[in-house]
Amino acid sequence: MAGDGTGEVWCVVVAAGSGSRFGGPKHLAELRGRTVLQRSIDVARRCADGVVVVVAPGSDVGVDGADVVVAGGDSRSTSVSNGLAAVPAGAEVVLVHDAARPLASGSLFARVVEAVRDGADAAVPVVTVVDTIRDLDGGTVDRDRLRAVQTPQGFRAAALRAVHARGAEATDDAALVEADGGTVALVEGERANLKITEPADLDVAAALLDRAAASGGDSAS
Ligand code: CTP
Ligand code: MG
């Protein structure tokens, strides 16, 4: 259980990737007046007591509102570990968020925190898969049995620290906690919470922001 439900929530925002598919450091790309990274930090700031931002070693990134900035590593797991090491020992819930997902809403963050406070070792936002998925060994996969995983992911701090203390490597921290016997709660993700991966994703994100602004929506903040 996550204690008495009042312990601090810290968010690790990972931004130490090279953006090879994007063609450069995508977290520094401008998205309607703020960088992708700054948007991710801003929502984390509103939803967590403290924010650790993980940037590429030697990079000189402008970061407003971070409590701590640390250098990442060659893999996402190493970047998460380095960020986690900077989270205060007393934190009860740790969120891990990809800087590359600038449109996650505050309500999504809140749902993830709540699932951990309710007793899950890990909580992950998921969305249904809309494409038909082909298995390279032949045949199609039943997409009703599949979910696409997003961030922020949330963890009971001790559960995340335990898997990282062993130096486990995976693109998905919840999978590590699950392999360790932990419980993983699925929470409803958001279709608009796309991960900026290729340049065209930035255009989609800008269009989503414009649409939300026109309708007074919450993810336009
Ligand atoms: N990330 C990180 N450290 C790494 C690799 C990734 O902090 N060594 C972060 C990225 O900055 C990003 C998030 O993890 O916010 C998700 O990774 P991804 O979308 O794959 O970003 P990149 O690894 O930068 O992109 P690519 O795989 O195209 O090189
Ligand atoms: Mg990557």
Q: pLDDT by residue (tens digit) across 34-60?
A: 999 999 999 999 999 999 999 999 887
Residue 2 confidence (pLDDT) above 60: no
Ligand 1 atom nearest to CA at 22: 28
Residue 3's pLDDT band (boundaries 50, 70, 90)? low
Top mutation candidate among 18, 40, 81 for ligand 1, by most atoms within 8 Å of CB:
18
Separation CA 92–CA 157 (nearest Å): 5
Backbone CA torsion sign across 167, 169, 174, 176: negative
Do you know the residue count of the chain?
221
Whole-number pLDDT of residue 205: 98
Instruction: Quickly state the pLDDT bin for 1 (edges 50, 70, 90).
Output: very low
Ligand with smallest separation from the Cα of 194: 1
What does the mean pLDDT of the chain come to?
A: 93
Distance CA 15, CA 130 (A): 28
Of all ligands present, the nearest one to the C-alpha of 195 is 1
* pLDDT attached to residue 217: 62
> Which residues does a 6 A CB cutoff place in the pocket of ligand 1?
14-22, 27, 54, 72-76, 79, 98-100, 195, 197
Distance CA 165, CA 69 (A): 20
Q: What is the mean pLDDT of residues 54-68?
A: 90
> pLDDT at position 166, please?
86
Rounded to two decimals, the pTM is 0.95
Hey, which of 82, 98, 150, 193 would you mutate to test ligand 1's pocket, going by the most ligand atoms within 8 Å of its Cβ? 98
Q: Is the peptide bond before 152 cis (omega within 30 degrees of 0)?
A: yes
pLDDT at 218: 57
Which tens digits make up the pLDDT trace of 184-208? 999 999 999 999 999 999 999 999 9
Q: What percent of the chain has pLDDT over 90?
A: 87
Mutate to test the pocket of ligand 1, among 12, 13, 14 (most ligand atoms within 8 A of CB): 14
Task: Kindly state the tokens that stand for 179.
Answer: 């392999």
Residue 134 scores a pLDDT above 60: yes
Tokens of 91: 């934190």
pLDDT per position as a tens digit, 96-132: 999 999 999 999 999 999 999 999 999 999 999 999 9
Domains of the chain: 9-207 (3.90.550.10)
Q: What is the pLDDT of residue 120?
A: 98
d(CA 92, CA 117): 9
